[in-house]
Amino acid sequence: MSDVATDTFADFAVLNWINRQAALGAPWFFEQTPSALPAPYPIVFNDDVAALLDLDTEAVRHAGYAHVLSGNDLPDACHPVAHRYGGHQFGVWAGQLGDGRAITIGDIRNARGQAYEIQLKGAGKTPFSRFADGRAVLRSVVREYLGSEALAALGIPTTRALAIVGSDAPVYRETVEHAAVMTRIAPSLVRFGSFEILFENRQFDALAPLADHVIGEHFPRIAAIEGANTRYRAWGERVIDLTASLIADWQAVGFCHGVMNTDNMSVLGLTLDYGPYGFMDSFDPHWICNHTDAGGRYAYDQQPHVGLWNLGRFVQAILPLLSDDPDTAVEIGQGLLERYRRSFDAAYMQRMRAKLGLVDTHDDDRDLVDDLLKTMAADGADFTRTFRALGHVSADPAASNAPFVDEFVDRDAAGAWLARWRERLVDTAADDTARAERMRLTNPKYVLRNYLAQAAIDRADEGDYSEIERLHAILRHPFDEQPEHEAYAKLPPDWARGLVLSCSS
């Protein structure tokens, strides 16, 4: 082992490895050593996420991290595993899936008592790779690295990205590409599909141990509830509320996940598994960011409905935990699902009122929101820029309508809606300056538009990783003006409008 690898090994070896997944073991997690990545080299390292793990970022950067975070040289305290789960993909039960190209090298607990699962995506074959090679390519890990960090900066629950390691080893997709490994972390990567596979395979006795593990680690108040059935019901309610809140977050920033299969849904309400995701440019409620999704199952306006459908599969999987009597379990499960619509509607309107600078509640607020979105859709107004511009408009009816109406072709329609908004603000107690500041901190100026991500990928393919670092630095502060980076907030070029991706992205 080289001196560089030895130094880095020491930095990671001193972490407090607790390896929760390995301790849980089969049938949920299976031991799996990463496959060696030829001649790995560092690409990017995220100091923000390193701090969550109590890593000395300066020491790691100085020593290098490629040998550890490629999976080539792991500390002895690590116990790598692959996670078994199933899932419904595009509404069809796909059977056993599992971590086909991702390996959790272990779990650590930091000095603040927070535990994180550390996973290498692209680390080689696992028992669940089927006929795939277990590798990831540079373009896909760059997109996940930037996407997850962009959502985190927006305050949206997500997995986080620690680093990207590259290799010149060829990976065969539509073309020959370079291999890469991304390190991501999360409090847990357990999914709806983790429970589905047990239910579908009639491994009912394995449901409670996994549920108890999740509840005990992540929901301590629920863990204290006496009575197993009552405890599992309370947990089901919490999963529903977290899922509703997450999807409301997505809708409020114009984010499309692209592949909301049940194996991509987190029981902690995290944004999980970035594939053909996208932040909307021109507002289109029916926008499909994944060209593989020919039927529009996962279009922007369908995400709240799919959330309910996916929760239906999750609740079905945990029915044996809700009651020993099947009929009673079904009745409880139906009650759980009825909770979702109320939870989502409340979360969504809370976010949309904030985007409009409203601090109180009126019965017709939903109409005000919907009519704005209809006006935006009619013109294809840019989602991010329109809401940001609204925050720069005075509540005074005598003031200029710019810059808000400048985002629309039909300026009269935009002005008519703006007049209604100003009338609504009359009932808002806070002063106009305070309202504008609240809106600035709610409506981002910078989001990860697809063309910006593609520009970073194109440069990375040529060996220039500076745009990844630059874009990440901008997206870390999405609500700040950053006038020196104004070009990153402009409308996308014509060639980038409507850019969509596939499941291989």
The answer on pLDDT for 3 being more than 60 is: no
- Show the 3-state SS of 276-327: CCEECCECCCCCCCECCCCCCCCCHHHHHHHHHHHHHHHHHHCHHHHCCCHH
Among 73, 99, 107, 263, the active-site one is: 263
Is the Cβ–Cβ distance between 313 and 196 less than 8 Å? Answer: yes
Active site residue 263: yes
The answer on pLDDT for 8 being more than 70 is: no
Sequence-distant (≥ 6) Cβ neighbours of residue 329 within 8 angstroms:
319, 320, 322, 323
Percent residues over pLDDT 90 in the chain: 91
Compute the C-alpha angle 119/121/127, nearest 5°: 90
Please report the pLDDT score of residue 160 as a whole number: 98
* Rounded average pLDDT over 148-160: 98
Query: What's the mean pLDDT when you consider all of the chain?
Result: 95
The answer on pLDDT for 51 being more than 50 is: yes
Q: Give residue 208's pLDDT band: very low, low, confident or very high (50, 70, 90).
A: very high
Please report the pLDDT score of residue 472 as a whole number: 98
* Rounded average pLDDT over 327-344: 97
The answer on pLDDT for 469 being more than 90 is: yes
pLDDT digits (tens, 9 = 90+) for 290-308: 999 999 999 999 999 999 9
Percent residues over pLDDT 70 in the chain: 95
Binding site residue list for ATP: 98, 100-101, 121, 133-134, 184, 191, 273
- Reported as type and span, the H/E element at residue 21 is helix 20-24
The answer on pLDDT for 88 being more than 60 is: yes
Q: Give residue 415's pLDDT band: very low, low, confident or very high (50, 70, 90).
A: very high
Please report the pLDDT score of residue 311 as a whole number: 98
**Cα gap 162→184, rounded to integer Å:** 6
Binding site residue list: 98, 100-101, 121, 133-134, 184, 191, 264, 273
The radius of gyration of the chain from alpha carbons, rounded to an integer in Å, stands at 23
Domain ranges of the chain: 3-189, 193-354, 358-440
The answer on pLDDT for 6 being more than 60 is: no
Please report the pLDDT score of residue 11 as a whole number: 83
